[in-house]
Structure 1
Amino acid sequence: MNQTIQFFDYHLWANTLVFNHLKELPSEVTYKDVQSVFPSLYDTLSHMYRTDFVWLKTMKGESFDKTLEAVQQLNNENLGRSTEVLEKDYLQVSEEYKTFIQQLDDVNDRITINHPSYGSWSVSYAELLQHVANHGTYHRGNITAILRQLGYKGTPTDYVYYLFELKSRQS
């Protein structure tokens, strides 16, 4: 497996672990207000989902304006939603990523992105996938910190645990 694709697969794996871990905790923990990067675990997960959604739209060639409209619609739909619905949406966008990646001729192919504030630039799909995975890693750290603040343990999502699981699947 291409290393970039494997690292992105790790990102999807780790997010699934987080959702599964949260199901083991009292449901109100996800919505509890905290002093952190985001006001709750739910808000952190929602941000992660929206970011994954935005970059997928970007990689598929959607315009900035269309992507912004889609995110605004997500924000409106997100009001009062449950963690279960958010997880379902996350799993759907994960499947869309897998399909998109499988259809790429070469993950190192480049696309041009046009952004009203940052201008136009050429970037490879591999670089964007790496960005999405890194972004997720950062916020999974936030989730662990929030959980500890609330008196709960996080779940191990380090890349090495993913590698151990891959190895055990191959054995």
Structure 2
Amino acid sequence: MSHEIIRQYEYHIWANNRLFDHLKQLPEEVYSSEVQSVFPSVAAVMEHLYVRDEMWLAVITGESTDLVSLVTRLTEEVKGLTASSLEERYNRIADRFRDYMAGVDDLDKVTSITHPRAGSMNAPISGLIQHVVNHGTYHRGNVTAILRQQGHPGVATDYIYFLYSQFN
């Protein structure tokens, strides 16, 4: 499973990069324009995704136990950043995830975590990383909906397109 979860995380990086590349081709105001949707803007979705990726890395690595403060601080740090600035942060966290995964002998090892709302549980590291990937997939769909609402197309980020890009 370890090899497959690394591929899944690489998909997450690929999909985020593809989305950022797509956003760069659209008028700049599309990123921060407010709409009536689950999130008020593309920027808000991307900020949320970034903050949660950071939070889950902190959970998985045990770097932070005060997740509420971490999320609050990161949310303030990224609020109002340009897409390019946020993309730079995404690239850095992707590298940190990769470094972490490369340093773990068994990504299927069960670890204990505590979530501020959901409580404590024991789960495999790979399952937590899969959550990060799934969370990203879900919210990239929100971005597509917001883009379409503004009259712009989304970009295909489905896993099958990642596989085609890797194995074709």
**More displaced 10-residue stretch of structure 1: 91-100 or 118-127:** 118-127
Query: CA-to-partner distance for each residue in 1:78-118, whole Å, 9 max, x for gaps?
Result: 23321111111111101100111111111101111123443
Q: Percent identity at matched positions?
A: 42
Q: Does 1:128 align with 2:120?
A: no
SS in 1 for 2:21: helix
Q: For residues 56 and 159 of structure 1, what CA distance do their matches in structure 2 show?
A: 22
Residue in structure 1 matched with residue 82 of structure 2 by the alignment: 82
Residue in structure 1 matched with residue 17 of structure 2 by the alignment: 16
Normalised TM-score (structure 1): 0.92
Q: For residues 53 and 38 of structure 2, what CA distance do their matches in structure 1 show?
A: 18
Shift in Å at residue 167 of structure 1? 1.0
Residue in structure 2 matched with residue 31 of structure 1 by the alignment: 32
Residue in structure 1 matched with residue 48 of structure 2 by the alignment: 47
Contact 1:63-1:114 at 8 Å conserved across structures: no
* Structure 1 gaps, min length 5: none
Hey, which bits of structure 1, 4+ residues long, moved more than 6 A?
Answer: none
Normalised TM-score (structure 2): 0.94
Shift in Å at residue 3 of structure 1? 1.4
Contact 1:10-1:159 at 8 Å conserved across structures: yes
What is the total number of aligned residue pairs between the two structures? 167
Shift in Å at residue 54 of structure 1? 0.5
SS in 2 for 1:86: helix
SS in 1 for 2:23: helix
SS in 2 for 1:2: helix
Q: For residues 33 and 27 of structure 1, what CA distance do their matches in structure 2 show?
A: 13
Contact 1:4-1:126 at 8 Å conserved across structures: yes
Shift in Å at residue 75 of structure 1? 2.0
Q: For residues 117 and 24 of structure 1, what CA distance do their matches in structure 2 show?
A: 38
SS in 1 for 2:142: helix
Aligned-CA RMSD value: 1.4
